[in-house]
């Protein structure tokens, strides 16, 4: 997976990079929202197609991890600009900022974003980035997870699949034999 990280604390961003790269992910580090947005725009320009349909299926990054408070441009503003470019981009806020205030702020984005409250276990971050909980839920309902992963779905597609399957299970009456 390709991960873009915006974190102003060098020691924290280095730890993120080490953890994610140890799991085989490609990590791009930036130290503020402005740099993050520049890196995102640069990655978009390298794509063969920049239409909304293409970006939804093939975002330049599988996830963007943003600290909430950073110099030059905070994570919220960076997220707004990134979502203007690609409304389907997966955003994960990793912040020590007060959770309730952060939740109120991200509602302004009008999209689903994920929140990690600092401090957090680094394995939890990796699990969230890799959608481990979603794949575990799919396994529980007997979905061929290996086959799904071979299709290389986006995070949004995996979540949609899980939600759709859950709805089907709820709406399908059980037949007694």
Dihedral angle over CA of 22, 23, 27, 29, nearest 10:
-60
C-beta neighbour count of 132 within 10 angstroms: 13
SS3 state of residue 28: strand
Domain 2-130 adopts which CATH fold?
Rossmann fold (3.40.50)
Global pTM? 0.77
Q: Determine contact, residues 118/94, Cβ cutoff 8 Å.
A: yes
pLDDT in tens, the chain (177 residues): 899 999 999 999 999 999 999 999 999 999 999 999 999 999 999 998 888 888 888 899 999 999 988 989 988 899 999 999 998 899 998 877 655 555 666 666 666 577 777 787 888 888 888 877 777 778 787 778 788 878 877 777 777 887 888 777 766 554 444
Residue where the block lists tokens 């401090």: 119
Q: Determine contact, residues 31/7, Cβ cutoff 8 Å.
A: yes
């Amino acid at each position: 997976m390709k991960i873009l990280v915006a974190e102003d604390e060098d020691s924290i961003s280095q730890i993120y990079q080490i953890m994610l790269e140890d799991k085989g992910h490609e990590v791009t580090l930036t130290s503020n929202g402005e740099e993050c947005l520049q890196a995102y725009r640069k990655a978009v320009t390298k794509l063969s197609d920049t239409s909304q349909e293409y970006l939804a299926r093939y975002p330049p990054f599988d996830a963007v991890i943003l600290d909430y408070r950073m110099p030059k441009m905070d994570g919220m503003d960076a997220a707004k600009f990134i979502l203007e470019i690609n409304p389907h981009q997966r955003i994960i806020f990793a912040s020590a900022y007060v959770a309730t205030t952060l939740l109120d702020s991200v509602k302004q984005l009008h999209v689903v974003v994920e929140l990690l409250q600092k401090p957090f276990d680094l394995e939890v971050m990796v699990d969230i980035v890799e959608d481990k909980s979603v794949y575990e839920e799919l396994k529980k309902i007997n979905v061929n997870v290996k086959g799904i992963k071979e299709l290389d779905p986006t995070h949004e597609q995996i979540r949609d699949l899980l939600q759709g399957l859950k709805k089907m299970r709820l709406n399908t009456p059980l037949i007694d034999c």
